[in-house]
Amino acid sequence: MNFSINFILEAIAIGLATGIFSGAFGIGGGIVCTPLLRLCLGVSPHMAIGTTMALIIPTSLSGALNYTRKGLVDKKVSTAMMIPAVVGVLLGAALTKVVHGKMLMLSFALLVVVSGIDLTFGIGKKIMDMREAANGEAESVSEAESSDRSLRTKILVGLMSGCLAGFFGVGGGFILVPCLLYFFKMPIKAAFGTSLVVIATVSVPGTITHFLLGHVNIPLMLTMMGGAVAGSFLGSTVALRIRDSWLRKGFGVIMLIVAFVLMARELSP
Cα separation, 124 vs 181, whole angstroms: 9
State the pLDDT confidence band at 125, using cuts at 50, 70 and 90. Answer: low
Q: What is the average pLDDT score of the chain? A: 80
How many angstroms separate the CA atoms of 183 and 124, rounded? 10
Q: Please tell me the predicted confidence (pLDDT) of residue 200.
A: 85
CA distances from 155 to 77, 88, 177 (A): 10, 10, 15
Summarised one tens digit per residue, pLDDT across range 24-83 is 766 666 777 888 898 888 888 889 888 988 988 887 887 788 888 888 899 899 999 999
Is residue 101 predicted with pLDDT exceeding 90?
A: no
Q: Report the predicted TM-score, pTM, of the whole model to 2 decimal places.
A: 0.72
User: pLDDT tens-digit profile of 166-203?
Assistant: 887 666 677 787 788 878 888 878 888 898 889 888 88
Phi, psi (5° rounding) for residue 243? -60, 140
Report H helices in 136-187: 143-168, 173-182
pLDDT at 141: 42
Distance of CA 7 to the CA centre of its chain: 25
**Averaged pLDDT for residues 229-244:** 78
| CA distances for 127 relative to 47, 131, 221, 255, angstroms | 38, 6, 40, 21
Question: Which pLDDT score is estimated for 242?
Answer: 74
How many CB atoms are closer than 10 A to CB 32? 23
Buried b (16+ CB within 10 A) or exposed e, 154-177: bbebbbbbbbbbbbbbbbbbbbbb
* pLDDT at 140 exceeding the cut of 50: no
How many alpha carbons lie under 13 Å from residue 261 in its C-beta half-sphere? Answer: 15
Radius of gyration from C-alpha coordinates of the chain: 18
Are 228 and 55 in contact by the 8 Å Cβ rule? The answer is yes
Angle at 82 between CA 81 and CA 86, to 5 degrees: 120
Q: Which has the closest alpha carbon to 205: 47, 53, 28, 51?
A: 53
Question: If you average pLDDT over residues 109-120, what whole number do you get?
Answer: 77
pLDDT tens, residue by residue, 207-228 = 898 899 898 999 999 999 888 8
Between 125 and 184, whose confidence is greater?
A: 184
The alpha carbon of residue 169 and the mean position of all alpha carbons in its chain are separated, in whole angstroms, by 9
- Per-domain residue ranges of the chain: 5-267
Per-residue pLDDT band for 100 (boundaries 50, 70, 90) equals confident
Q: Is 114 exposed, middle or buried (0-12, 13-18, 19+ CB in 10 A)?
A: middle
Residue 110 dihedral angles phi and psi, to the nearest 5°: -65, -40
